[in-house]
Chains A and B, each alone.
Chain A
Amino acid sequence: MTAIPPVSDSSRPEPRPRQLVINEDQEALRTAVRDLLSDHASWASVLARAETDAPYDISLWERLSHDLGVTGLLIPEEFGGAGGNARDLAVISEQLGAFVAPVPFLGSAVLATAALVAVRSEPVASELLRRLAGGETTATLGISATTVPGGVLSTTVQSVGGLLTGTVTPVVDLAAAEHIIVLTWDEGEPALYAIAPDAATAVVSAITPLDLTRPIGGLELAAAPGRLIVRGDPALAAVATALVTGAAMLAAEQVGVAQWALDTTVAYLKDRHQFGRPIGSFQALKHRMAQVWRRVGLARAAALAAADALAGESDPDEIARVVAVAASYCSETSVFATEEMIQLHGGIGMTWEHPAHLYLGRAKADELILGAPDQHRTRLADLVGLPGS
């Protein structure tokens, strides 16, 4: 447990300057992603795809990778990536949230990539990173989606002589992954393996998801042949880094979701008339929207702080604190904003043909994955010396 320094200590050195406003390059990246998504990820197309057996928009994923280098953003230049940082990645994550884009970004470009970058000098990791950077392949982290960053990591997967057996579920973006990075127990030691799904020994089954725009699946391993990436503490550390990175990117995504809900609802309130006036002129509704706006502003600042901490902070406990703040606050704000959206749209908000439910499902599922808000706060309490009892 680490207590934070007392605030009255004015001799403390000035804190590390944070970057909480996106810079010009990030602004340009934001515009580019937005433009691409506007052209190729209309909500109507996202909704149409949701019920098919091709839940991912692979051509969109390829464009994001080839045109904008999204898949290689976090990957160092020596492996053919862009050597970008979490601040850049957060810009993309937010926009993908705003469009509920059905691409395996979280599983591949965030979770698997961050884990592999953490152990990049290992041969299997560097080989995979090279291929991920160019968008030649897609991966995911084979860990239960509800794993809480900073918690004790556990796995039921055992590896014996390079053959993996066990179950991992639910896993995000499993169906799109050609490579699954699995945490195993390997003769009493943790180890990370890369496996490829196959019909006999590494069976992927789809789970019907609450969030229609982010598929999840279950992985059943029966003596599946794996390639060892790394064993011992570095394996655990790599997964821990991936989880904290994932939680921060999810926070940015939630800001995108919440902002979309806010903008869409405000537009609807100006347009829809009842009682001879726009419903947005009723103060009861104005105040609700003002509260959503206020909270989205706080959430945005928290998500920027989390990405900034990952990119620039050296103390892992401090990174964990700021990410926990963002994860807790952004989760709840995104759910709040989308629930307000449904209510203030009336009947139309309840229909399948309106996109609101895609965002509600995304917001609620995002709240549950990589730690629910209360779990982030429990972890935070430990990190700031405010134990529950």
Chain B
Amino acid sequence: MVDADVRGRIARLVDEYAAGDPSRPPVDRGAFLGSRFDAGLAWVHFPRGLGGLGLPRTAQIAVEGEFARLGAPATAQADNVIGYGMAAPTILEFGTAEQRDTLLRPIFTGEDIWCQLFSEPGAGSDLAAVATRAVRDGDDWVVTGQKVWTSFAHTAKWAILLARTNADVPKHRGLTYFIADMTAPGVEVRPLRQLTGEAEFNEVFFTDVRVPDSARLGDEGNGWAVAQGTLMNERMAIGGGATRESGMLGKLAGLWRDRPELRRPALHDRLMQLWVEAEAYRFSSERQRQQLLAGRPGPDGSGSKVTYAQLNQGSTALELEVLAAEGLHHEDWSLRRPTESNWLAGGATHRYLRTKGNSIEGGTSEILLNVIAERVLGLPREPRTDGSPTGKDVPR
């Protein structure tokens, strides 16, 4: 999928660091990723000078495959999911020249970890109900409010923040999107323990936090549109495994293959149903990429996250049933503070518990089904009972 020129660039970069040579000391990942960014090999669909080469989005998979094949260090994706999946594309689309120039590179290298300050106790699925206030004061905004379920707020340097700047207009129109410094005075991060025992997400309190107007992303009052862009990118970032038997299903299939003594006849067809669906999902993701490439993007993306959550949950549940006695044991309930999202590394019970969040985070499956029904199938909206309230009238 990528041409010889790109392959050549990749090979030269790997050579320069002797990254593929196991006899040499390990390459400094940050420095290597910095060079990748400078060579336009970070996000190849980004413009030249901003980590990309202006290639189609679909080329990224082949580029990552090529780096992996040559033994280069992995990207910082796992420890900077929000940075990669949401902040970077949003900054590219809505950021000022200065924001793009200064913020994108350290996202890619993993030097700056990002988090997403969207959800609040009173604004989950109904995100436009956010109550965190940002009040203009000279060249700054003064932000006060409470955010919740904020993944990786404890490792983040920066946040993408959705706050209310006008409470007197309908709720979708009074929002503004900011970049917030998580080390600024008045920001407090408290761990929220999850059902896995660990605390990957947090509560974040803002008390009179000063955010300069230069850290606004998009126009005042346009926060909803910018946030939609972020969520769209988030869904696009998920996509199906590029290889057969990847992800959670791969763990399950591997277990079944390696441990014949655990096989039970009644579980076999469930395994194969998941195998089949995972494969259909892989083909459908590949098809979506091809449609994108052909300039005919289809609407299938909206369904992908529902499928992804369902497959992950089905596979991990069955994995425990196959494990039987071994499935009774959880590795570690201690309150750990994870720094990366790599759910394949943990144990089977952790996978089972953590994937429960897959149908909640980034838009619940119910909300996504609403989106499909209304925007793809054109079914009528449910009559609303909240009218079109202004920001200050939102029932909380």
* Interfacial residues, chain A to chain B (CB-CB below 8 A): 3-4, 7, 10-11, 14, 17-21, 266, 269-270, 277-278, 280-283, 285-287, 289-291, 293-294, 297-302, 304-305, 322, 324-326, 328-329, 374, 377-378, 380-381, 384-389
User: B257 contacts the other chain (Cβ, under 8 Å)?
Assistant: yes
Q: Which residues of chain B are within 8 angstroms of A285 by Cβ–Cβ distance?
A: 379
Closest partner residue, chain B, to A5 (CB atom): B244
Is A266 within 8 A of B291, CB to CB? Answer: no
Q: Which residues of chain B are within 8 angstroms of A328 by Cβ–Cβ distance?
A: 272-273, 276
Pick from A20, A269, A322, A381: contact of B290, CB under 8 Å: A20
Q: Which residues of chain B are within 8 angstroms of A281 by Cβ–Cβ distance?
A: 379-383
Q: Which residues of chain B are within 8 angstroms of A266 by Cβ–Cβ distance?
A: 377-379
Docked Cα-Cα span, A14 to B366, in Å, equals 37
7 A-B pairs with the lowest CB-CB distances in the bound complex, closest first: A286-B373, A301-B284, A294-B303, A377-B272, A290-B372, A20-B287, A301-B283
User: B149 contacts the other chain (Cβ, under 8 Å)?
Assistant: no
Q: Which residues of chain B are within 8 angstroms of A388 by Cβ–Cβ distance?
A: 263, 265, 268
Is B377 within 8 A of A293, CB to CB? Answer: yes
Pick from B243, B268, B373: contact of A290, CB under 8 Å: B373
Is B283 within 8 A of A10, CB to CB? Answer: no
Q: Which residues of chain A are within 8 angstroms of B256 by Cβ–Cβ distance?
A: 386
Q: Which residues of chain B are within 8 angstroms of A18 by Cβ–Cβ distance?
A: 283, 286
Given contact pairs A280-B380, A381-B268, a sample of 5 additional A-B residue pairs in the complex whose CB atoms are under 8 Å apart: A266-B378, A278-B380, A289-B379, A298-B277, A388-B265
Pairs A–B under 8 Å by Cβ, sample size 22: A7-B243, A7-B245, A7-B246, A10-B69, A21-B291, A270-B379, A278-B380, A285-B379, A287-B369, A289-B373, A290-B376, A293-B303, A293-B377, A298-B277, A298-B307, A301-B284, A328-B272, A329-B277, A377-B273, A377-B276, A380-B275, A386-B271
Q: In whole Å, how far is B171's beta carbon from the nearest beta carbon of chain A?
A: 21
Closest partner residue, chain B, to A285 (CB atom): B379
Q: Which residues of chain B are within 8 angstroms of A298 by Cβ–Cβ distance?
A: 277, 280-281, 283-284, 303, 307
User: B111 contacts the other chain (Cβ, under 8 Å)?
Assistant: no
Is B276 within 8 A of A10, CB to CB? Answer: no
Docked Cα-Cα span, A278 to B382, in Å, equals 10
Closest partner residue, chain B, to A385 (CB atom): B257
Interface centre among A283, A381, A385, A386 (most CB of B within 10 A): A386
Docked Cα-Cα span, A326 to B277, in Å, equals 9
Q: Which residues of chain A are within 8 angstroms of B243 by Cβ–Cβ distance?
A: 7
Is A302 within 8 A of B379, CB to CB? Answer: no
Is A377 within 8 A of B300, CB to CB? Answer: no
Is A14 within 8 A of B65, CB to CB? Answer: yes
* Interfacial residues, chain B to chain A (CB-CB below 8 A): 1, 62, 65, 68-69, 243-246, 250, 253, 256-257, 260, 263, 265, 268-269, 271-273, 275-277, 279-281, 283-284, 286-287, 290-291, 294, 296, 298, 300, 303, 306-307, 366, 368-370, 372-374, 376-383
Is B369 within 8 A of A291, CB to CB? Answer: yes
Is A301 within 8 A of B383, CB to CB? Answer: no
Q: Which residues of chain B are within 8 angstroms of A322 by Cβ–Cβ distance?
A: 279
Docked Cα-Cα span, A20 to B268, in Å, equals 29
Q: Which residues of chain B are within 8 angstroms of A326 by Cβ–Cβ distance?
A: 280
Is A4 within 8 A of B287, CB to CB? Answer: no
Closest partner residue, chain A, to B368 (CB atom): A290
Is A4 within 8 A of B369, CB to CB? Answer: no
Is A294 within 8 A of B306, CB to CB? Answer: yes
Q: Given contacts A7-B243, A290-B369, A298-B280, is CB(A304)–CB(B307) below 8 Å?
A: no
Q: Given contacts A374-B269, A380-B276, is CB(A4)–CB(B377) below 8 Å?
A: no
Is B283 within 8 A of A20, CB to CB? Answer: yes
Pick from A4, A11, A304, A329: contact of B244, CB under 8 Å: A4
Is B283 within 8 A of A389, CB to CB? Answer: no
Q: In whole Å, how far is A168's beta carbon from the nearest beta carbon of chain B?
A: 30
Q: Which residues of chain A are within 8 angstroms of B376 by Cβ–Cβ distance?
A: 290, 293
Q: Which residues of chain A are within 8 angstroms of B378 by Cβ–Cβ distance?
A: 266, 270
Q: Given contacts A283-B370, A294-B307, A377-B276, is CB(A270)–CB(B380) below 8 Å?
A: yes
Is A304 within 8 A of B287, CB to CB? Answer: yes
Q: Given contacts A4-B245, A7-B250, A21-B296, is CB(A325)–CB(B280) below 8 Å?
A: yes
Closest partner residue, chain A, to B62 (CB atom): A14
Docked Cα-Cα span, A207 to B382, in Å, equals 48
Q: In whole Å, how far is A379's beta carbon from the nearest beta carbon of chain B?
A: 10
Q: Given contacts A14-B65, A281-B380, A386-B257, is CB(A305)–CB(B275) below 8 Å?
A: no
Q: In whole Å, how far is B140's beta carbon from the nearest beta carbon of chain A?
A: 43
Q: Which residues of chain B are within 8 angstroms of A19 by Cβ–Cβ distance?
A: 290
